[in-house]
Structures are given as C-alpha cells and as structure tokens.
A = this chain, B = another copy of it.
Amino acid sequence: MTAETIRSLTNEEISLIRKEFPVLQQKIYGKPLVYFDNAATAQKPDAVIKSLTEFYSEYNSNIHRGVHFLSQKASDAYEQVREKVRNFIHAESESEVVFTRGTTESINLVAQSFGKAFVTEGDEVIISAMEHHSNIVPWQMMCEERKAVLRVIPINEKGELLTDELEKTLNSKTKIISVVHISNSLGTVNPVKKLIAQAHRREVPVLIDAAQSIAHEQIDVNDLDCDFMAFSSHKMLGPTGVGVLYAKRKWLEALPPYQGGGDMISGVSFEKTTYNEIPFRFEAGTQNIADVIAFGTSIDYLQSLDRKRLLFYEHQLLSYATERIKEVEGIRIIGTASEKSGILSFLIKGGNAMDIGMYLDTQGIAVRTGHHCTQPVMNFFKIPGTIRASFLFYNTISEIDIFIEALKKAARLFHKK
C-alpha cells in the first residue's frame, strides 16, 4: 500500500463511522472513552446490535430441520452467513466454512481431529515463538496425547519470525504447521504466504491463526493457499461466541468429527452412526444462531466500507502513535518488526504495566496490560508483560494525542519512585 494511490479517511468520514458505534459515545469517569483495546475485542456498530434484536424479536427459532416459517427464515439467514464468510475470505466453497465458538475452538478442532487422523508417535508439529496461548496449548495437548513433538520457530529481538529456521525445522516427520498471521502482543505481520509456499514444497499443511489479521488485512485464502484458517467474529465487529474454521475441502473431508451430537449426523443407531456431509459434520448441537446471523451483519458492514482505505488509515494511526510515544520518558517499545499492524506494545521505565494501565483507565483510556496470552513472548523479552494499545479504524489521531499526554503524566508519576 502506498500513499500515492490510497486516500486515507477524512475526519468527516471517521466521525460518521464513529457515530455508528454506541460504545464509543460512552464517558468513563466523566471523560470520553478512548478505546485502544481493539486487539482484545472490537466494538460493534449499530447494525450488528440491531440484527441481534431483530432476530430475537422477529424470527428466533431453531434451524435446519424445522418446516415452519420462523425456522426456515432463521435457517436461511444462518446459511447465508456461510456464503458471506466465503466471499469475505475468498474461499472456493461455502462448505469449507465451519462455524465454531471462536479462534480457540477452531484451533482445538484442527489439533484434535487432525491429530487423530494423521499424527502418531514421533511426528512433529511446528508453531512459532510468538503464538497466542490458543495456538500453543491445543498443540501441546495433542502432542502429549500422541507422543508427538512440538517444535518452535524462534523470533529475533525485533519480534520477527526467523523464517530461515523454518527450513531447518521442516523434515519428513513434520505433519502440520500452525502460525499466527499478526501477533497480538507484538503487532508483527508474518510473511504467511511465503511460509505456506515453503511448507507446501514439503507437502506440509499450514493453519493460519488469523484472529488479529481478519480485521486488519484483506484476507484471501485462495491466494494465500492456506490449508486451515481460524478467526473470531468478536475481533471483527461481530458478536462474541462465534468463530470460523476455514479448511480446504480435501482436509475437511479427511478429518474425523470433533464433537458428536444433533445436526452433525446423517443417521444414528446404537450399532452404527454415520456422519453428515461437510461442513455440518463439524457443527454438533444447536448452533449460536443469533450470533452467526449478527456476525453476517458485521461482514456486511466491513464490506460496505472501502477496506483498502481503512487499513491504510490504521497504518497511519500506528505510525503516528509509534512516533509520538517516543516523547514519553523511559519508553521501551516491544515489537519493532519492519512489517507491523495496528498494535503498539510498550513499557515505561520504573512503571509496572498494570499500574500504568490503571492510570490510563482513570483518564478514560482503555488499554490492555499483561502477557496478552503470549507468555513465551514475554519470557523471550524477559519481561512480565507489556502495556498494549491497539487501534481500529474508528480511532483518531486526537485520541492518540490524549493517550500520549496521559502516558507522559504516568511516566512522571512513577519516575518519582
């Protein structure tokens, strides 16, 4: 993306966008909310909230087997979201889209089902040193069960993946690679397309943890050629409780089911149970119908905007914040990769991360502090945690100014010590 071809958002556009997000109108302790905790969860536009109210007020019903009006309306709305997701990520077919509870469940599903089908004693699974716990623990659990080995691609001091190490780690025992697209604690954007090509030369499939990238990149699974992708609705303006597992048809068809129950079967008897076709085979029990439908609305909302421009603007926010934060005494930025997305992790000398987070809270500024579910990253940098500000296109330059001034005060507060 270059400044020549893409116009950033204008102030008017931003303020129109902000009007659609009711939480952003809140005051916290009498001060306007500055919401910089977007990597944890994004705020929801009115349209998304409204679609929940509409569902529950107008056509709430269980789906699939119902022959009555409400059930058909709900089933249609639910299944349409599969097509919306397919289109959003450029998958080939909507039957490659499985609805889950979130990124975490999507990864657990793959770890368990893929493990059962393909991993045996001595096999290897590769992840990176910057993974979120949700992309570590499921693999650890599976590897322990199957006596397989978890191998880890290291990172450098800037928080970049040492991609050369992948080549050395890949071998004939490697069964799958699972790697994050954008690190939630460092902001690093990994060269996943390259990694996938590299893995494919060895015929090793790749899962991309797109929890952070789904809202901050334009994802094309076809172009990336990834085998699996996991992401959550709540980080892309949709409701909590919904996520997606995208998987190439050949994989979905090869994987054994993960959970058993209603809707995922084609026939049940005590002697023999046969499973439904994909993707339904992976959706056991009553689904999160309302939230899937509202998730569809969040996709519509994102699609209605010019995403190229949004993403360009988000990069501007990051650059501006990264520049200005240097004015704060004792600042140390954690994560200085050359390719970064709108996440700024840092520490202030003498100040405990939580204390600073709480100070920012007194100013109505919401950031996250701690290990961000990436303890291995913290161990690598030998720090207990960071303060993390994460941006979305509804944030503004003047919010960053407020944030920087507050940080300066915090730095003084703890400098005394």
The chain A residues found within 8 Å of chain B, CB to CB, are 22-23, 26, 28-29, 33, 35, 37, 40-41, 43-44, 48-49, 52-53, 56-62, 65-71, 101-105, 107-108, 111, 129, 132-134, 136-141, 150, 152, 232, 234, 239-242, 257, 259-265, 267-270, 273, 284-291, 354, 357-358, 360-361, 364-370, 373, 375-376, 379
Contact = CB atoms under 8 A, between A and B. Distances in A.
B284 A108 contact: yes
Contacts of A375: 267-269
14 contacts: A26-B58, A52-B52, A66-B366, A67-B361, A68-B360, A69-B361, A102-B286, A104-B284, A105-B285, A108-B261, A133-B260, A134-B260, A141-B257, A141-B260
A351 B364 CA distance: 65
Given A40-B66, A260-B108, A261-B107, A240 B286 contact: yes
A366 B61 contact: yes
Instruction: Return the 7 tightest CB-CB contacts between A and B, nearest first.
Output: A104-B285, A137-B260, A241-B288, A134-B261, A104-B261, A40-B62, A22-B57
Nearest to A367: B68
A368 B71 CA distance: 9
A417 B416 CA distance: 92
Contact of A241 (B40, B241, B369): B241
Given A285-B101, A365-B68, A56 B23 contact: yes
